[in-house]
Amino acid sequence: MTTFKEIRGTAIQVVSSDPSNPEEGQIWYNSSSGTLKGYKTVNAFSSGGNLNTARQGLSGAGTQTASLAFSGITPPGQSSSTEAYNGSTWTAVNSMNTARSYMGGCGTQTAALGFGGNISGTALTTTESWNGTSWTSSPTGLNTGKSYTTGSGLQTAALSFGGITSNTNPFTLTAATDSWNGSAWTSVNSLNTARWGLESFGIQTASIATTGNAGPNTVPNFSSGFTESWNGTSWTAVNPTNTARNGANAFGTQTAGVVTSGNSAPGPITAATELWNGTSWSNTPASLTTPRSIGATAGTQTAGIVFGGYDGTAVTGSTEEWNSIATQTITVS
């Protein structure tokens, strides 16, 4: 019979009180209570307040308790609507100057950046900055118009990468990466794999680009798990996600991220959720109550938020909050 020590490489400790800083998977015997205990991280989504305007292809910025939602498609047309979240309720605030969808976004609730996007099949270069009250159009836009693009960083230090430059059949994919210094975009080294409908998280000098559709619209289900890491100078291909998808929802940092839901290939919208530890992806049983694609996100691996999107039947305004409880001790016996 295999013992715990042979599996784990350590014996079960006998202690009079629970350890103050246990490791994931650690097991101990509490002699005071006469119980065998273990430690694990618990991840879960829970319902938040709905957006006032349900939409898909929108963008987001901020944190779980201070988020910003902007742009998107609210059938039958595109939206310039902006809403702010306080941890429980969304409030409509001043709209963007240019209504559009499938644009990149990043920053905080009081200092956000929106760039690129799509209007009636035209990929935009348009860039706007949010100061907590209103949007201002920048006189300088992206070097190349991009829709179905993504980005990361802050209002004064951001990246834009991937997307499509033409909606004609077939799509023209781009791997182009642009860097924003607060006033202008500069072309920098491109992604290794051009794709659209990809997701991202991180900052200008340390970002992750993951998943996306690496084929033209003649191959609509060519979803991928491609993941690349940006070091401030160039992109490096790293371990892919376990489930290929596009139009996914992701948030976090370069070394600690989450990707959830999105369009699988082939097949319907997936409920799969994965965690990124800076090296590889691992599956977690936690999943969105409303699986969706092309929604928006904000936050970190321990406290994130997903809002809006398309649930496979209709555009949704639902919001779900992600929490990772890293201090739960369970009694084994």
177-202, pLDDT tens digit by residue?
999 999 999 999 999 999 999 999 99
The pTM score is: 0.88
Identify the residue whose tokens are 């990361």: 152
What confidence category does residue 126 fall into, taking pLDDT thresholds of 50, 70 and 90? very high
**Cis ω on the peptide bond leading into residue 75 (within 30° of 0)?**
no
- Give the number of residues written for the chain: 333
Q: Give the angle 144-56-106 at the CA atoms, nearest 5°.
A: 50
The CA distances from residue 319 to 46, 149, 217, 313, in Å, are 9, 22, 29, 17
The architecture of the domain spanning 46-324 is 6 Propeller (2.120)
Per 3-state DSSP, the chain is made up of helix, strand and coil in percentages (nearest 5) of 0, 50, 50
Q: What is the pLDDT of residue 144?
A: 94
- In percent, the amount of the chain with pLDDT more than 70 equals 92
Mean of pLDDT values over 30-40: 82
Q: Classify residue 123 by burial, with Cβ atoms within 10 Å: 0-12, 13-18, 19+.
A: buried
Q: Each residue of 241-263: pLDDT tens digit?
A: 999 999 999 999 999 999 999 99
Rounded CA separation 264/153 (Å): 27
Judged by DSSP in three states, 7 sits in helix
For residue 122, pLDDT over 50 is answered with: yes
Q: What is the DSSP letter of 269?
A: B
Q: Where does the chain hold its CATH 2.120.10.80 domain(s)? A: 46-324
Q: Each residue of 264-281: pLDDT tens digit?
A: 876 789 999 999 999 999
Lowest mean pLDDT among 69-73, 114-118, 244-248, 264-268: 264-268
Q: What is the pLDDT of residue 219?
A: 61
Up-side HSE of residue 66: CA atoms within 13 Å toward CB? 8
